[in-house]
């Protein structure tokens, strides 16, 4: 169904910190017949709901009731006022203090009165848990952690383990409180990393400065950007010059100098003098707006690991509850002690919540995406992070990826022992009279320190440039215009371009030109090889020229003289060989092969729209080493995920085993539940402090 046929609303679930509950909410709303698609972004707690065309008048209140039956959260639809939850936190803190006080009483005193006080405190601090349990029971959800915790502690009271029942409820409440705070702080930290928004624009209209929303600024309007302010829209400086900090947009660590006629991007911070910028495109089409859209969409794209964990959680809890019942029956029969059998079964109920497993995976991915954003690496969701894992081959486009796309003079050859310094002098003076890119490259590669005069300078398009010096005709022409020896022709095949300096029609020097290799290209290839990853370069250059660059960088295999569609054939060959490959490119012609690849990386910031849209990962800086860094972040994230899950499973299995044998208490069980969840949350966001 087309998006235009559907009504869409966004609901903020303020206070949602349970990933497992979030999964249940998303699943429940998706099961509604009037809903086309529901997606929960756990990072921002926003639930986006698209309704069927036939059900535009859906009762939102019914959806709210449905959500509240799953989790007690503050629900805010579109423009509704946000509910202040500080009072709720204060009440939770009061419950914790009273709960700890009651626990001390129950442990130190065994009298009937003190037991009554402990029971009263148990009911007081457990009220939110009982309330949620009741709501879940009405929905026939008996595998909710609140219901299971209620049954476990009531069971403990039934066998006269009042201190333990109160202790479990207190520590469960304490653990949930600190877990919620840890989750919220982690999500806030990640959100701050991704906050690149611009709040206002100062538009210059008839000499007056008018404050507008950046969305209202039109192309052609002039905006004033003061020191410390953000550029509101993509544009070009028409007055002034200053240093700009692009770190929040591209991840560049060093500010860049910008002056008149140079472009600046939305979100860049002006560090120096005020400047006036003429807007080139609406805010919605700016680099910043696109970046924000990609970030928002990224948190909705769930990784396979998240989906697997959600499915596992749906099976895990019923399984553990079933085992708890078996443990109760077997232990009661084997020990001839129903009380002990019940106690052992209750331990299984306490530990049956899958929250630690469910929350650590998405939070870990969110943290990795947030950290990547600070490094100028935009992962388009958990799927994109996973796509960078287990790469066997990286396929690089040459121009603009491994090279700068700038023409430079890379080699000089003299003919018949002519003085190269004199040749350089003539070339430097002649080419200063041309604006051609080749001329600029030759000027940079040569020097002129004498008073040599060249007159009658004439530039002929497609041929070259000529003049007169000391009564001799000097000219620089294309290599193809000159007959040369076979040895020089052999050298020339290693380079895509060459020009010849002639004096009175005699060739005296040859200047070979090529694309400039980026400083970190060789190190990138070296690092990939250390991981056992094969590197391939595709290029439209002649074979000898492409081979020369490949040898300089240490690339394993090259494909040269390729037309754009022939790059796709290289990728298709890798697919038939069942090799997982990444493609790194920057041009509009790379979109097709980026889509074909297992992991598509768009290099060079916010360039070609098609390439950016097709890519899994956008490298905002123009650095090949970010390919390595992206893979490193993915590897580090997976390592943290594996560590988390291994720790969670190990603790739970150990406590379950000890509990079934009578060597573990409910105190240990509650640690294996909320304590482990808290540690998992803290470990999941460790990537935020990772140094690659």
Dump the DSSP string for 73-100.
-EEEETTPPPPP-HHHHHHHHHHHHHHH
Task: Tell me the pLDDT tens digit for each residue of 357-399.
Answer: 777 777 788 888 888 877 888 888 788 888 899 899 999 988 8
Identify the domain boundary among 476, 502, 517: 517
The lowest-confidence range among 166-180, 311-325, 425-439, 466-480 is: 166-180
* Whether residue 465 sits in one domain with residue 449: yes
In a domain? residue 601: yes
pLDDT at 608: 56
pLDDT range class, residue 82, cuts 50, 70, 90: very low
Q: Which of 498, 517, 536 is the last residue of a domain?
A: 517
Task: For residues 109 and 32, state if they share a domain.
Answer: no
The CA R_g of the chain, rounded to the nearest whole Å, is 34
Q: Return the exposure string of 576-604: e unless at least 16 CB atoms fall within 10 Å of the residue's CB, then b.
A: eeeeebbbbbbbebbbbbbbbbbbbbbbb
> Could you tell me which residues are beta bridge partners of residue 244?
256, 270
Q: What token pair was written down for 376? A: 């100028």
Identify which has the larger pLDDT, 482 or 214: 214
Same domain, 498 and 577: no
Structure tokens at 321: 């509850």
Tell me the mean pLDDT in the region 169-185: 68
Summarised one tens digit per residue, pLDDT across range 5-18 is 457 788 888 777 77
Q: Is the pLDDT of residue 335 over 50?
A: yes
Q: Which residue has the higher pLDDT, 324 or 311?
A: 324
Lowest mean pLDDT among 52-61, 277-286, 479-488, 511-520: 52-61
pLDDT at 613 over 50: yes
pLDDT tens profile 639-661: 988 898 899 889 988 988 898 88
205 in a structural domain = no
The two most distant CA atoms of the chain are separated, in Å, by: 121
CA distances from 518 to 217, 400, 552, 587 (A): 37, 9, 12, 17
pLDDT of residue 593: 86
CB 279 within 8 A of CB 220: yes
Average pLDDT in the chain:
81
Q: What is the edge-to-edge ordering of all strands in the sheet holding 455-460?
A: 403-414, 506-517, 497-503, 472-478, 464-469, 455-460
Among 41, 397, 590, 673, the one annotated catalytic: 397
Which of these three, 472, 490, 517, is where a domain ends? 517
- 413 part of a folded domain: yes
What average pLDDT does this structure show over 496-514?
89
Give me the pLDDT at residue 361, please: 78
485: domain CATH number is 3.40.1110.10
Catalogue the E-assigned strands of 415-461. Answer: 455-460
Answer whether residue 200 is part of any domain.
no
Same domain? 413 vs 491: yes
- For the residues of 116-132, what is the DSSP string, one character each? HHHHHHHHHHHHHHHHH
Q: Are residues 319 and 335 in the same domain?
A: yes
Taking residue 646's Cβ as centre, other Cβ atoms within 10 Å add up to 10
CATH number of the domain to which 23 belongs: 3.30.70.100
pLDDT reported for residue 468: 94
Higher pLDDT, 627 or 613: 627
What is d(CA 658, CA 672) in angstroms, rounded to the nearest whole number?
12
| H-helix or E-strand spanning residue 25 | helix 19-30
Asked if residues 287 and 249 have their Cβ atoms less than 8 Å apart, the reply is yes
The domain tally of the chain equals 5
Domain identity same for 184 and 304:
yes
Q: What is the Cα–Cα distance from 100 to 360, expressed in whole angstroms?
A: 28
**Same domain? 625 vs 578:** yes
User: What's the pLDDT score for residue 192?
Assistant: 58
Rounded Cα gap, residues 67 and 61, in angstroms = 10
Query: b/e per residue, 206-219, with b = 16+ CB within 10 A?
Result: eeeeeebebeebee
Is residue 245 annotated as a catalytic residue, yes or no? no
Higher local confidence (pLDDT), 48 or 394: 394
pLDDT of res. 540:
80
Mean pLDDT of 233-252: 82
Q: Are residues 158 and 186 in the same domain?
A: yes
What's the mean pLDDT in 289-312?
66
Closest CA relative to residue 71, chosen from 10, 37, 28, 22: 22
Burial 423-437 (b: 16+ CB within 10 A, else e): bbbbbbbbbbebeee
- Choice among 33-47, 440-454, 467-481 with the minimum mean pLDDT: 33-47
Residue 646 lies in a domain: yes
For 182-191, what is each residue's pLDDT tens digit? 666 655 655 5
Predicted local distance difference test score (pLDDT) of residue 83: 40
β-sheet with 74-77: strand ranges across? 35-41, 46-51, 8-14, 74-77
3-state secondary structure of 67: helix
**Alpha carbon distance 189, 291 (integer Å):** 19
Residue 92 domain flag: yes
CATH number of the domain bearing residue 545:
3.40.50.1000
Q: How far apart are alpha carbons 373 and 625 in whole angstroms?
A: 15
Instruction: Give dist(CA 478, CA 464) in Å, integer.
Output: 7
For residue 635, pLDDT over 90 is answered with yes
Q: What's the pLDDT band for 544 if we cut at 50, 70, 90?
A: confident
DSSP codes of every residue in 271-333: -SS-EEEEE-S-GGGSHHHHHHHHHHHHTTS--HHHHHHHHHHHHHHHHHHHHHHHHHHHHHH
pLDDT tens across 456-465, in order?
Answer: 999 887 788 9
Residue 530 CA, chain-centre distance (Å), reads 24
The sign one gets for the Cα dihedral 472, 478, 480, 481 is: negative
In a domain, 291, yes or no: no
Query: For residues 229 and 202, what is the distance between their CA atoms, to the nearest angstrom?
Result: 10
Decide: residue 27, CB within 10 A, 0-12 exposed, 13-18 middle, 19+ buried: middle
- Tell me, yes or no, whether 202 lies in a domain: no
Q: Which residues, 6 or more positions from 647, have their beta carbon under 8 angstroms from its beta carbon?
A: 676, 679, 680, 683
**Is residue 244 predicted with pLDDT exceeding 60?**
yes
Q: Residues 115, 178: one domain?
A: yes
Q: Provide the pLDDT for residue 534.
A: 96
Sheet-wide strand order for 201-205: 208-212, 201-205, 222-225, 275-279, 235-239, 263-264
More confident call, 93 vs 647: 647
C-beta atoms surrounding 223 within 10 Å: 23
Residues 532 and 610 in one domain: yes
Nearest to 618 by CA among 635, 629, 603, 607: 603
Pairing of strands 201-205, 235-239: unpaired
127-155 mean pLDDT: 77
Higher pLDDT, 351 or 640: 640
**Is the model's pLDDT at 313 over the cut of 80?**
no
Give residue 553's pLDDT.
Answer: 94
Q: Other C-beta atoms within 10 Å of 568: how many?
A: 19
User: Rounded to whole angstroms, how far apart are CA atoms 440 and 44?
Assistant: 50
Please determine, for residue 92, whether its predicted confidence score (pLDDT) is greater than 70.
no
Q: For residues 379 and 468, state if they share a domain.
A: no
181 and 311 together in one domain:
yes
Is 666's pLDDT higher than 90? Answer: no
- The residues, any chain, with a CB within 8 Å of residue 612's CB and separated by 6 or more, are 290, 294, 602, 606, 618
Q: Name the residue range of residue 449's domain.
A: 404-517
**119-126: long-range pairs with CB below 8 Å, 24+:** 119/157, 119/162, 121/166, 122/153, 122/157, 122/162, 122/165, 122/166, 122/169, 124/95, 124/98, 124/99, 125/95, 125/96, 125/98, 125/99, 125/169, 125/170, 125/173, 126/150, 126/153, 126/169, 126/173
pTM over 0.85: no
Q: How far is CA 436 from CA 248, 400, 464, 468, 679, in A?
A: 35, 20, 10, 20, 62
CA 49 distance to own-chain centroid: 24
Flag whether pLDDT at 134 surpasses 60.
Answer: yes
102, two tokens: 């009651």
């Amino acid at each position: 169904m087309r998006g235009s046929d559907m009504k869409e609303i966004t609901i903020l679930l303020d206070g949602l910190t349970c990933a497992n509950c979030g999964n249940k909410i998303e699943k429940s709303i998706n099961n509604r017949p009037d809903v086309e698609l529901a997606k929960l972004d756990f990072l921002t707690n926003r639930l986006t709901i698209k309704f069927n065309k036939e059900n535009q008048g859906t009762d939102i209140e019914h959806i709210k009731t449905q959500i509240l039956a799953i989790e007690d959260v503050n629900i805010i639809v579109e423009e509704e006022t946000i509910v202040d939850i500080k009072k709720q936190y204060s009440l939770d803190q009061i419950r914790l203090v009273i709960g700890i006080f009651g626990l001390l009483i129950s442990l130190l005193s065994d009298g009937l009165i003190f037991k009554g006080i402990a029971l009263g405190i148990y009911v007081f601090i457990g009220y939110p848990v009982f309330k949620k349990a009741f709501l879940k029971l009405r929905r026939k959800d008996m595998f909710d952690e609140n219901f299971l915790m209620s049954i476990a502690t009531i069971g403990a009271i039934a066998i006269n383990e009042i201190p333990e029942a109160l202790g479990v409820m207190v520590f469960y409440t304490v653990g949930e409180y600190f877990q919620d705070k840890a989750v919220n702080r982690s999500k806030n930290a990640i959100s701050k990393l991704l906050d690149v928004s611009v709040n206002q624009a100062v538009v210059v209209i008839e000499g007056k400065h008018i404050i507008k929303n950046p969305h209202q600024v039109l192309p052609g309007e002039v905006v004033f950007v003061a020191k410390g302010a953000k550029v509101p829209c993509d544009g070009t400086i028409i007055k002034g010059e200053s240093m700009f900090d692009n770190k929040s947009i591209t991840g560049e660590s060093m500010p860049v100098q910008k002056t008149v006629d140079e472009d600046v991007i939305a979100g860049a911070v002006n560090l120096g003098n005020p400047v006036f910028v003429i807007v080139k495109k609406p805010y919605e089409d700016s680099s910043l707006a696109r970046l924000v859209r990609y970030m928002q969409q990224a948190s909705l794209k769930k990784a396979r690991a998240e989906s697997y964990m959600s499915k596992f959680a749906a099976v895990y809890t019923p399984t553990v509850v079933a085992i708890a019942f078996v443990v109760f029956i077997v232990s009661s029969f084997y020990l001839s002690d129903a009380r002990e059998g019940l106690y052992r079964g209750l331990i299984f109920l306490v530990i049956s919540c899958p929250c630690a497993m469910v929350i650590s995976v998405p939070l870990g991915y969110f943290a990795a995406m947030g950290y990547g954003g600070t490094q100028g690496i935009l992962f388009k969701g958990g799927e994109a992070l996973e796509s960078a894992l287990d790469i066997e081959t990286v396929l690089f486009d040459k121009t603009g990826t491994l090279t700068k796309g700038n023409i430079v003079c890379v080699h000089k050859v003299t003919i018949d022992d002519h003085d190269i310094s004199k040749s350089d002098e003539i070339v430097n003076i002649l080419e200063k009279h041309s604006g051609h890119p080749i001329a600029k490259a030759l000027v940079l590669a040569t020097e002129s320190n004498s008073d040599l005069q060249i007159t009658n300078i004439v530039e002929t398009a497609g041929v070259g440039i000529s003049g007169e010096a000391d009564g001799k005709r000097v000219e620089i022409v294309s290599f193809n215009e000159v007959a040369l020896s076979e040895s020089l022709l052999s050298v020339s095949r290693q380079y895509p371009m060459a020009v010849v300096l002639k004096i009175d029609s005699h060739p005296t020097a040859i200047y070979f030109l090529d694309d400039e290799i980026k400083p970190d290209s060789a190190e990138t290839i070296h690092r990939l090889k250390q991981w056992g990853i094969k590197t391939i370069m595709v290029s439209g250059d002649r074979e000898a020229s492409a081979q020369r660059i490949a040898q300089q960088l240490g690339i394993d295999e090259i494909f040269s003289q390729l037309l754009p569609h022939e790059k796709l054939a290289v990728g298709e060959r890798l697919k038939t060989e069942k090799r997982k490959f990444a493609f790194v490119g920057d041009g509009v012609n790379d979109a097709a092969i980026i889509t074909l690849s297992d992991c598509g990386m768009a290099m060079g910031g916010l360039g070609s729209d098609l390439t950016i849209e097709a890519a899994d990962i956008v490298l905002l800086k123009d650095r090949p080493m970010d390919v390595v860094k992206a893979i490193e972040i993915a590897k580090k994230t997976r390592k943290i995920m594996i560590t988390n899950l291994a720790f969670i499973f190990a603790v739970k299995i150990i406590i379950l085993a000890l509990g079934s044998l009578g060597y573990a208490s409910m105190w240990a069980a509650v640690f294996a539940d909320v304590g482990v969840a808290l540690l998992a949350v803290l470990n999941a966001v460790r990537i935020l402090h990772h140094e690659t």
